[in-house]
Amino acid sequence: MLRPVSKGVEPLRDELASALANENISSESTDRVAYARDLWPRQQIRTRRGEAAIAPPAFIAWPESTEEVARLVQVAHERSLPIVPYGAGSGVCGGILPREDALIIDMKRMRRPLEVDGERLIARFEAGIVGQHLEDELNRLGFTLGHFPSSIYCSTLGGWIAGRSAGQTSGRYGKIEDMILGLRFVDGTGKVHHVERDGENAALLPLIIGSEGILGIVTEATLRIAPAPEERVFAGFVFPDVASGLLAIRRFYQSGLRPAVARLYDPFDSFLKRQGGIRRRDTDSETEASRPKGIRGKTRKESTVRSLALHALNHSLRHAKYMNELIERVPDTMLGGATLVLVWECDLSLGKIEREVARSIALELGAEDLGEEPGRHWLAHRHSVSYRQSPMFRSGAFVDTMEVSARWSRMLPMYEAVKRALGEHVFVMAHFSHAYPDGASIYFTFAGSARSDAEQLERYDRAWRSALKAAIDAGGSLSHHHGVGRSKAPAMQREQGHALSLLADLKKTFDPRLILNRGTLLPEEFLHGLR
């Protein structure tokens, strides 16, 4: 049964509603449940147990302007009411998980394009706009932001900024922090700040980007845009092993090549990609009437087969350690090697020249040229990974991802250390992406199961603790583009040391009553004694 709004908080509803021109505020049970969490897989396991919310929010508000956000925050500041900013709720690190009566400020009604200047290649948008809508607006005018996270259909500009997001074409356009030219944000007292990269309050810009809503709520952003690419150039290679593939990517970027996409899949991930993996077929989206007569009626059979396969996988994942050990004994060459996908977004002639240089480097390192097909296939399916959690959770298992980053000299040791640490608890594979001249990120995908949800939570937590420790011990960073949230906050002190105390002081400055998104990014112990 849903816990009711506390009696001491309930009277604030009218005061909060008066801050909004259209009184867009709710305390309905359905809204409180819907806004009580993001897509953190740990909370998905808890939800499956019937624990949908630790403490559902008291109110959900939908402001339509920066001024309305400021008025809401002013009321909350005066009443010491906790606030959780909300974009699209697609984060996977527990950035949204109220632990007491709180006000959710949903930004999605602030979704207007405010300015697009094609001569200066600058655009300004409200922060609640969904990523694909932003890109569609720019494409209509012949431009692109160049920011394509796999969650682009279900994430917002404000969420990207809060989590320091990276898109799939970061090799050419950079991460979100490279695109931000200015911001408007509301701090924890309700004060509105305007910051510009080359102007007013410039020093605040890197502090707000990636702050996960603990310092302020971003309401607008001015962005660097680019002409939309007229052509793309594709390439694909398979390398004998991960080490040779990583060396190739390193040489690409250090020699001045700039593929927008460079993704290296480890041998087992490559093997699954070639086999098609366990995924929904294209026919899932067809209606019965639209299917050819010869295969009508098979949908139920296909669904049954998939369901049986997933349940069999669920039972196998209880013994993930032994599955990993078995695969480790298989030579990389038997699995087919490590697959590299490359995509360029630039002038066609330049892209073709860069592809030939990349091909020369790859062949020198023992790669086999696979032609354009791997790159074209990746582009056609590049967003599908964000929508594959549900079947695994329905089967009784769990799945999650972990992204870390490191310099090139530490990349292979970190990959091996984290994979080994995760492999003690869950089934694991990985790919490398978001490459730069000095390093790259590793994206681990892992799945596990146990006899009960309680045992699954224990296994899940052990896997995360082991993996984060391994990443830090290997000299890596515990996050690259998903953010920290609650999933990685316990490891922040080990990575950042005294810097966390400085961040806590900064929070006290911007948010003196500590009402903004408590529990994410900063471990709770750093906030004790600050009041």
Q: What is the pLDDT of residues 226-261, one digit of tens each?
A: 999 989 999 999 999 999 999 999 999 999 999 999
Q: Is the pLDDT of residue 525 over 80?
A: no
Model confidence band, residue 333 (pLDDT cutoffs 50, 70, 90): confident
Q: Are 433 and 262 in contact (CB under 8 A)?
A: yes
- In this prediction, residue 286 carries a pLDDT of 39
Strands 226-227 and 216-224 turn out to be: unpaired
Cα separation, 251 vs 78, whole angstroms: 56
Q: Is the pLDDT of residue 165 over 60?
A: yes
Model confidence band, residue 281 (pLDDT cutoffs 50, 70, 90): very low
Fold of 113-227: 3.30.465
For residue 174, count CB atoms less than 10 angstroms from its CB and return exposed for 0-12, middle for 13-18, buried for 19 or more. middle
Task: List the 83-86 sheet strands across, edge first.
Answer: 25-26, 59-61, 103-106, 83-86
Question: Which of 9-23, 295-309, 310-324 shows the lowest mean pLDDT across its residues?
Answer: 295-309
What CATH number was assigned to the domain covering residues 233-279+315-473?
A: 3.40.462.40
Q: Is the pLDDT of residue 420 over 70?
A: yes
Model confidence band, residue 273 (pLDDT cutoffs 50, 70, 90): confident
More confident residue, 272 or 471: 471
Cα separation, 254 vs 436, whole angstroms: 8
Q: Is the pLDDT of residue 277 over 60?
A: no
- In this prediction, residue 282 carries a pLDDT of 38
Model confidence band, residue 309 (pLDDT cutoffs 50, 70, 90): low
- In this prediction, residue 305 carries a pLDDT of 53
Residue of 137, 141, 135 lying closest to 153 (CA atoms): 135
Q: Are 61 and 117 in contact (CB under 8 A)?
A: no
CATH of the structural domain 12-108, one choice from 1.10.10.10, 3.30.360.10, 3.40.50.10310, 3.30.43.10: 3.30.43.10
Strands 103-106 and 83-86 turn out to be: parallel
Cα separation, 442 vs 242, whole angstroms: 12
- Side chain identity at residue 17, one-letter code: A
Question: Which of 371-375, 380-384, 386-390, 475-479 shows the lowest mean pLDDT across its residues?
Answer: 386-390
| 348-364 helix and 242-254 helix, angle to the nearest 10 degrees | 140
**Domain ranges for the chain:** 12-108, 113-227, 233-279+315-473
Count CB-CB contacts under 10 A for residue 372.
15
Identical fold between 12-108 and 113-227: no
Cα separation, 508 vs 100, whole angstroms: 20
Residue of 175, 209, 95 lying closest to 440 (CA atoms): 175
The mean of the pLDDT values for the chain is 90
Strands 122-126 and 59-61 turn out to be: unpaired
Percent of the chain with pLDDT over 90: 73
